[in-house]
Structure 1
């Protein structure tokens, strides 16, 4: 019989138990990231090389070949390369995409933890999200360094990008708990979430500026959980307008989703062993 992370129905226990299992979380996140680059000659160097290569590809395709121009008056610096803008948005997107795509199968693929080992099952979605958070943070750090080198400066608000990034991580964690619990009982979710991830990608201002969206459809962007963190992080790095009030509301919503996702996971956890 497995145990969950924290007391059942007690969201505050989540923070206490997360601190208790911090060494285990670190070890599992380290292993999860290591598995991505196992048997590779450059090992952890790929954490930097991979996003760097992607950035070069985006820059070449969209700037050199397609000659795309990012017409968004929100940026105070008009010399920001399109590839850098796109790469920033996609780096944020992968944080939520990992939770959507990997979490539905995370419990069903770890039956030994469910049936044979006393293990805090709620850690498994956390490992997915924390690993994605590390990769996203590295990619955004690369964006900042290249912006300083290529453009010459970044916005004074750049250090605060950690706030919308962590808010999105909290939301992704809540969604991950929902998906992980539902994925045990409804295996078809594994087939649905990749399509949902794609929909979220193209209904957020990631590959295009929000000014290109017709006004009657522009309001729909607000319902995409990626819109606010993507827009805010870009504005904080490249210079532009953003609202602390909107960001604060988003953080509150993200916290609610995280807590309710945890409670939902704990509610359904009792039946995992029977189903698996």
Structure 2
């Protein structure tokens, strides 16, 4: 039983990796620069943010020096990268099975693997952006931070939480077509109530619980601390966030399993 379980799990991982590669290939197929776009896009975005908020608005990130426009751009860019994974994975979940109804009708196809494909593509783009931030910060910022090695510890619970949320929305989206519009609003709400455009220290105490409960706030803060400030993630916040992520994943799996039998009939 155990060898069969591990071999089946390995097969699912291999299938997921293949689907993610195909998804990435389709996105850039026919473009002039092809596979260079995943590297060029975060570089251009970082340059734009640096120019707009640094040279034009001359914005200042709390805790940084008056003229540290690069620090502002890097802090902002990291927050947008974290939110981008949620926007790309959770945002596609409600319409995922409607766009891939042929997979739903195949009884032997593991649909949970299909739910994880947008998450894998989004994670790939995010990692390229994070590597760019680390490189720019090492050359022109505060230098290379060895605490950046904590990246897997930070991303693992975040990915588990997003996968659990995606399972719920993907299952519900089969029955509730309006969920696409609702999730679009929720994604924007998460953007502005998370610590993307501001640090947690700026949040008034009356809104602190809302910002703290936002699923992107802790990973954003932890990434900034590790990559830019040389701070290891706090053990207790990591444990709490990881525990909540596991609960969300379990809930998502249960909802998906309960609603899965009716997918083919509705689609």
Compute the TM-score of the two structures, normalised by the length of structure 1. Answer: 0.89
2: distance between equivalents of 1:184 and 1:16? 30
Moved more, 39-48 or 256-265: 256-265
Q: By how many angstroms is 1:130 displaced?
A: 1.2
Pairing partner for 1:234 from 209, 224, 227: 224
CA distance 1:107–1:232, change in 2 (3 Å): same
Q: Which runs of 5+ in 1 are unaligned?
A: 1-12
Moved more, 233-242 or 88-97: 233-242
More helix by share: 2
Q: By how many angstroms is 1:259 displaced?
A: 2.2
Query: What are the equivalent positions in structure 2 for 1:22-61 lying under 5 Å apart?
Result: 22-61=13-52
Q: By how many angstroms is 1:116 displaced?
A: 4.5
- CA-atom RMSD in angstroms: 2.0
* Match in the other structure for 1:255: 246
Pairing partner for 1:65 from 56, 62, 67: 56
1: distance between equivalents of 2:254 and 2:196? 31
Q: By how many angstroms is 1:14 displaced?
A: 8.9
* Match in the other structure for 2:193: 203
* Match in the other structure for 1:9: none
2: distance between equivalents of 1:36 and 1:14? 33
* Match in the other structure for 1:244: 235
Say if 2:107 is the partner of 1:134. Answer: no
Moved more, 108-117 or 261-270: 108-117
Compute the TM-score of the two structures, normalised by the length of structure 2. Answer: 0.92
2: distance between equivalents of 1:14 and 1:251? 24
1: distance between equivalents of 2:25 and 2:164? 24
Query: What are the equivalent positions in structure 2 for 1:12-27 lying under 5 Å apart?
Result: 17-27=8-18
| SS of aligned partner of 1:21 | helix
Pairing partner for 2:136 from 138, 146, 158: 146
CA distance 1:15–1:33, change in 2 (3 Å): farther
Pairing partner for 1:270 from 252, 261, 266: 261
1: distance between equivalents of 2:161 and 2:83? 12
Pairing partner for 1:83 from 58, 73, 76: 73
Greater relative contact order, per chain length (Cα 8 Å cut-off, separation 6+): 1
Question: Conserved in 1, the CA contact under 8 Å of 2:90 and 2:166?
Answer: yes
1:90-142 deviations in whole A, cap 9, x for unaligned?
A: 01111111122101111121111112463111111111111111111111011
CA distance 1:237–1:15, change in 2 (3 Å): farther
Q: By how many angstroms is 1:172 displaced?
A: 0.5
CA distance 1:267–1:48, change in 2 (3 Å): same
Aligned length: 261
* Match in the other structure for 1:99: 89
Question: Conserved in 1, the CA contact under 8 Å of 2:58 and 2:69?
Answer: no
